[in-house]
Amino acid sequence: MNKGLIIMKKSKNFLQTIVEKDLQSGKYKEIITRFPPEPNGFPHIGHAKSIFINFGIARDYNGHCNLRMDDTNPTKEDTKYVEALKDAVLWLGYRWEGNIHFTSDYFTQIHEYAIKLITMGKAYVDSVDEEKMRELRGTVTEAGKRSKYAKRTVAENLDMFERMRKGEFKDGEHVLRAKIDMSSANMKMRDPLMYRIRHAEHFRTGNKWCIYPMYDFAHSLSDYIEGVSHSICTLEFENNRDIYNWVLDTLDLTPPRPYQHEFARLGINYTVMSKRKLLELVKGKYVNGWDDPRLPTIAGLRRKGYTPESIVTFCDKVGIAKANSMVDIAQLEFTIRADLNTKVPRVMCVLNPLKITLVNYREKGEKLDASYYPDDVPKKGSRALPFSREIYIERDDFEENPPKGYFRLTPEQPVRLKHGYIIACKEIIKDINGCITEIKAEYYPTSQSGSDSSGIKVKSAIHWVSADTAKRVEVRLYDRLYSSEIPESIEDLNPNSLKVITDALIEPAVVNEKPDERFQFERQGYFYADPIDYTDEKPVYNKIVGLKDSWGKKTKVTLQKSQTKEKKEQIDGEVVAMTPEQEKLFDRYKKELKLNSEIANTLARDADLSAFFEMALKVLYSPINLANIITNEVAREIKQSSKDSLKFTPNQIAELIEMVDKATISNKIAKQVFEEMVTSGANPKEIVEKRGLLQISDPDHIGRVIDEVIEKNYENLEKFRAGNKKLLGFFVGQVLKATGGKANPKLVNQLLVQKLG
């Protein structure tokens, strides 16, 4: 892997956090991940993200990553896709551990696990048809029902399952289902299918099996069999996590076992990523095959000229999180530009030629020495660049009636030929239609690049080729595939996504010397010698990406974005009404105990909470403080664990609040103490005593600490005095930190305000 270029992000993503925690706690001694695609389509940049995550985490934490083909559906999968998947991983620079794995390698073991589940009474053979099954499954709001076949005995199930395996039944006649819960709120848990009959030839196991395990069953077990520690997948599998856990838990396997974690899949605007849509584009010949450079497939990106490093960098830069997101294609384009900028030679190629005759130049040409790299790219190399009386420049680089701010050649404005001379326009030749066919110009003999003594100032240097030696080449200009940011259908395709120029003119060294396969065509963009269609007779270059073009942007009609970001008015929904009992409680809390409405409301609506509160209140009559901590802190713990497993009691909470009331400890400390009560179940007073958490309310003491803090943070003091009042919080924090959180924060605040003035 190219070490120098890729600078990885500093901040950790949530998966790395999980992995580190698991490593630290000793849950796993090695991190094992896997990249588990189904070989039923060509990998795209979304797969690259998954590859980056799985292989990347394995590498970062000295573990390993398996490449596993999830081949449980013989009717869809094919070996040609496994080759494409292998290529993608390798090309991106990753190596998998050992051989490639296949879920089909585990069919025998998975089958045994299925039998075990049947024996445990946790799985059964169902024999209803598809339609009936759907009906029985219920809906998201209504519970489902089990079919009558769920009552089959273990022996019967064993027998039926064996007959399924032996091929005694036709497709769809029977299935094996896990016996979980037909009324589960999670639809995925309503007795999910484990096995179905498929009399089809599998590309690896041939006709050995006619029953195949379903994803949920096979995937969890394959992960387990491979010793995977972190099973990382995309968000849409969140609901499947319950089955994943169910399978591994009920089988009671020897630990350690894998756990599933989900991240958001990659979305990029102006393109599509779904297998279905990609297939449609290829099948419908909207593009030229899976490696069409306009496609976001790995093969396409690769053929277009993207480097693997740039794609890995891109994956790293967009980050890994759980929010559905749509990354701007500009981000990808930036990454490849940044990569290529420091790597590839600059050459000149004229896409749309305009002939220039240098009327004062001699008949015989000359060779100019031209570096392949600009000064800011630390690479060496140059070529002899032919120059002659007749040259071609880009049609865009001449304007008869230039707009304001135009830097290139005009009747009045001279321009430099990159690596060559300065020229000035003398005469414009037009055809009968008024179309410019040629420019007669003069060159300044003393203006040669590198030894210019002409003293002429030009606004820009343009690219060109010498007419006698230029080579004709094909250039394929690619633009984004879709013209709409979030494409819906074929109608959104960009009709100009491919523009082929068959007669571009390139300087000869590019095809003769072939200094590289990727180039920057000076002032235009990065190009790649097409790996398939390129021949010495007919060189073909693909446009990888254009250069940033701030002139083009300026001249284009500025498409205005409505910058009036009017805040959308948010309509609040109805809050569920209180029951009469709750209402009564609410009134008492509010009127009698003087709690504020919000606290009273929360308390009154939650029976567990109010019960806890009432008990604490009997011990200590300090309704407001008690209610506050109970609704804001205790509530969380009550919600998480069932009431009885709480490690602390209402008595202890009362005890804690008593200390707050007496100003023995501050609110801040009270929260700290509470945290410890939650985990250890110790008595609050003991905690305070043991850890010496008594509040410091001595102004002199605090004052001394403040002075120290101010001294250490002189810069911030300046800023504060200059008007950055937010910094007060910073100072309070520092003082509190210095006293181990024990200083009385109110006092700290007061004193700080005085001292900072």
Partner RNA sequence: UGGGGUAUCGCCAAGCGGUAAGGCACUAGUUUUUGGUACUGGCAUUCGGGGGUUCGAAUCCCUCUACCCCAUCCA
Give catalytic residues, as residue numbers: 38, 265, 275
User: At its nearest, how many Å lie between RNA and the CB of residue 189?
Assistant: 9
| Site membership for RNA, residue 522 (CB under 7 A) | yes
Residue choice 437, 729, 740, 754 for contact with RNA (CB under 7 A): 729
User: At its nearest, how many Å lie between RNA and the CB of residue 153?
Assistant: 21
Q: Tell me which residue of 218, 478, 536 sits closest to 336, measured CA to CA.
A: 478
Token code pair at residue 650? 């209402």
| Site membership for RNA, residue 219 (CB under 7 A) | yes
Q: Cα–chain-centroid distance for residue 559?
A: 28
Eight-state DSSP code of residue 409: B
Q: Tell me which residue of 621, 618, 589, 617 sits closest to 602, measured CA to CA.
A: 589
Contact 312, 52 (CB under 8 A): yes
Residue choice 208, 322, 499, 594 for contact with RNA (CB under 7 A): 322
**Which of the stretches 192-200, 290-298, 471-479, 495-503 binds RNA when contact is defined by CB under 7 A?**
192-200
Segment 324-353, which members bind RNA (CB under 7 A)?
324-328, 330-331, 333-334, 337-338, 341, 346
Residue choice 317, 691, 701, 755 for contact with RNA (CB under 7 A): 317
In the complex with RNA, which residue's Cβ is closer, 32 or 214?
214
Percentages of the chain per state (helix, strand, coil), in multiples of 5: 40, 20, 40
| Site membership for RNA, residue 754 (CB under 7 A) | no
| Site membership for RNA, residue 407 (CB under 7 A) | yes
In the complex with RNA, which residue's Cβ is closer, 322 or 588?
322
Q: Which amino acid is at 616?
A: A
| Site membership for RNA, residue 724 (CB under 7 A) | yes
User: At its nearest, how many Å lie between RNA and the CB of residue 728?
Assistant: 7
Q: How far apart are CA 359 and CA 353, in angstroms?
A: 18
**Which of the stretches 59-67, 286-294, 549-557, 580-588 binds RNA when contact is defined by CB under 7 A?**
549-557
In the complex with RNA, which residue's Cβ is closer, 288 or 624?
624
Give the per-residue contact string, 24-63, with RNA (x = CB under 7 A; - = no). --------------x-------------------------
User: At its nearest, how many Å lie between RNA and the CB of residue 160?
Assistant: 13
Q: Which amino acid is at 662?
A: K
Inter-CA distances, 458 with 441, 454, 461, Å: 15, 11, 8
| Site membership for RNA, residue 599 (CB under 7 A) | yes
Q: How far apart are CA 596 and CA 585, in angstroms?
A: 13
Q: Which residues pair with 356 in a beta bridge?
A: 391, 439
| Site membership for RNA, residue 235 (CB under 7 A) | yes
Q: How far apart are CA 501 and CA 303, in angstroms?
A: 18
User: At its nearest, how many Å lie between RNA and the CB of residue 241?
Assistant: 7
| Site membership for RNA, residue 129 (CB under 7 A) | yes
Residue choice 50, 54, 66, 72 for contact with RNA (CB under 7 A): 72
Secondary element (H or E) of residue 554 = helix 550-555
**Which of the stretches 21-29, 85-93, 156-164, 238-246 binds RNA when contact is defined by CB under 7 A?**
238-246
Q: How far apart are CA 744 and CA 699, in angstroms?
A: 9
User: At its nearest, how many Å lie between RNA and the CB of residue 176?
Assistant: 10
Q: H/E/C letters for each residue in 328-359?
A: CHHHHHHHHHHHHHCCCCEECEECCEEEEEEC
**Which of the stretches 109-117, 150-158, 493-501, 566-574 binds RNA when contact is defined by CB under 7 A?**
566-574
Segment 448-477, which members bind RNA (CB under 7 A)?
448-450, 452, 460-462
| Site membership for RNA, residue 175 (CB under 7 A) | yes
User: At its nearest, how many Å lie between RNA and the CB of residue 157?
Assistant: 16
User: At its nearest, how many Å lie between RNA and the CB of residue 52?
Assistant: 13
In the complex with RNA, which residue's Cβ is closer, 287 or 387?
387
User: At its nearest, how many Å lie between RNA and the CB of residue 39?
Assistant: 9
In the complex with RNA, which residue's Cβ is closer, 343 or 533?
343
Q: How far apart are CA 149 and CA 126, in angstroms?
A: 5
Residue choice 102, 237, 482, 589 for contact with RNA (CB under 7 A): 237
Segment 618-677, which members bind RNA (CB under 7 A)?
625, 628-629, 631-633, 635-636, 639, 666-668, 671
Residue choice 1, 8, 14, 503 for contact with RNA (CB under 7 A): 14
User: At its nearest, how many Å lie between RNA and the CB of residue 325?
Assistant: 4
- Burial classification of residue 434, based on how many CB atoms lie within 10 Å of its CB (0-12 exposed, 13-18 middle, 19 or more buried): exposed
In the complex with RNA, which residue's Cβ is closer, 139 or 433?
139
Segment 350-379, which members bind RNA (CB under 7 A)?
374, 376-377
DSSP per residue, 98-159: SSPEEGGGGHHHHHHHHHHHHHTT-EEEE---HHHHHHHT--SSS-----GGGG--HHHHHH
Q: How far apart are CA 699 and CA 65, in angstroms?
A: 59
Q: Where are the alpha helices (DSSP H) in 177-294?
A: 215-225, 241-250, 275-283
| Site membership for RNA, residue 548 (CB under 7 A) | yes
User: At its nearest, how many Å lie between RNA and the CB of residue 740?
Assistant: 12
| Site membership for RNA, residue 86 (CB under 7 A) | no
Segment 136-155, which members bind RNA (CB under 7 A)?
137, 139-141
Q: Cα–chain-centroid distance for residue 386?
A: 48
> How many positions of this chain bind RNA (CB under 7 A)?
136
In the complex with RNA, which residue's Cβ is closer, 471 or 719?
719
C-alpha Rg value of the chain to the nearest Å: 36
**Which of the stretches 229-237, 293-301, 302-310, 384-392 binds RNA when contact is defined by CB under 7 A?**
229-237
Q: Tell me which residue of 146, 147, 145, 141 sits closest to 185, measured CA to CA.
A: 141
Q: Under DSSP, is residue 579 helix (H, G, I), strand (E, B) or coil? A: coil
Segment 682-701, which members bind RNA (CB under 7 A)?
none
Q: How far apart are CA 495 and CA 370, in angstroms?
A: 38
In the complex with RNA, which residue's Cβ is closer, 234 or 469?
234
User: At its nearest, how many Å lie between RNA and the CB of residue 40?
Assistant: 7
Residue choice 188, 277, 426, 755 for contact with RNA (CB under 7 A): 188
Q: Under DSSP, is residue 244 helix (H, G, I), strand (E, B) or coil? A: helix
Q: How far apart are CA 657 and CA 674, in angstroms?
A: 10
Contact 461, 393 (CB under 8 A): no
Inter-CA distances, 185 with 141, 144, 192, 234, Å: 8, 10, 13, 21
In the complex with RNA, which residue's Cβ is closer, 548 or 588?
548
In the complex with RNA, which residue's Cβ is closer, 12 or 538?
12
CA atoms within a 13 Å half-sphere pointing along the CA-CB vector of 281: 32
Segment 102-121, which members bind RNA (CB under 7 A)?
none
In the complex with RNA, which residue's Cβ is closer, 34 or 498?
34
In the complex with RNA, which residue's Cβ is closer, 288 or 317?
317
Residues 6+ positions from 736 with CB-CB distance below 8 Å:
668, 743, 745, 748
